[in-house]
Amino acid sequence: MTRPTFENELKEIHLDILKMGAMAEEAIDKAIYALKTKDIELAQKIIENDDKIDALTEEIEKKCAIVIATQQPLASDLRLIITAMRIATDIERIADHAEDISQITIKLAKEPYIKPLVDIPKMAEITRSMLKDALDSYVNSDVELAKSVVKKDDIVDQMYQNLIDELEQIMKTNSDAVPQCVQFLLVIKYLERIADHSTNIAEWVVYKITGMHKHDWETK
């Protein structure tokens, strides 16, 4: 494989990552909208579309494997390939959690919610912004933006704990609400995991640019 061909292969992988990221962002937005509005049809579409993201992940993995097998990449090139594979895996898992939330929407669609959904959409918006910033840092090779995503994870963790406390209190005072509260606990857990995967993406971006893992750059 010639160097120009190698560069073209890397560009294709890069574009596939961006396509996957855009699809995952859209899935999060639509999943929370469907949950708020009890839109079963939209939730079902999100579930069906997850197969497209899974297929794109497999395609990226194949392309990365071919690049590694057909040319001995330089250390910096190998970092690009490893980063792409890791990021693709995290994006796939983010999309899986959007699908998980959509499954819950379908379960709860026919019953009144125990309370208006206010804090869960707020939490979802922060997690979605984390994914967007992580992807922007990947596109622009922006180390500082990537590190800012890592810092935001603490905000999501605090919101997660606050919502757990609130839902636990509701369950203590209203036993009839327990089944629905359990479903909402799962929703916020999926959102917390989306934030974690977005953080992973940001950490891989820093690695791609600097060659350093989180424990290395946090101590500097």
Q: Are 182 and 154 in contact (CB under 8 A)?
A: no
Which pLDDT value is given to residue 55? 95
Amino acid code (one letter) for 184 = F
Average pLDDT over residues 65-75: 83
Q: Is residue 4 very low, low, confident or very high in pLDDT (cuts 50, 70, 90)?
A: confident
Angstrom CA distances, 208 to 34, 75, 79, 219, stand at: 36, 10, 5, 18
For 173-215, the pLDDT digits (tens) are 999 999 999 999 999 999 999 999 999 999 999 999 998 887 6
- Residue 88 has φ and ψ, to the nearest 5°, of -60, -40
For 73-100, the pLDDT digits (tens) are 787 788 889 999 999 999 999 999 999 9
Amino acid code (one letter) for 197 = H
> pTM score, two decimals?
0.93
Which pLDDT value is given to residue 62? 93
For 181, other C-beta atoms within 10 Å of its C-beta total: 18
Average pLDDT over residues 148-169: 96
For 115-136, the pLDDT digits (tens) are 899 999 999 999 999 999 999 9
Share of the chain above pLDDT 70, in %: 96
Integer Cα distance of 121 and 130 in angstroms: 14
Which pLDDT value is given to residue 220? 60
Task: Label residue 164 exposed, middle or buried (CB < 10 Å: 0-12, 13-18, 19+).
Answer: middle
Which pLDDT value is given to residue 217? 67
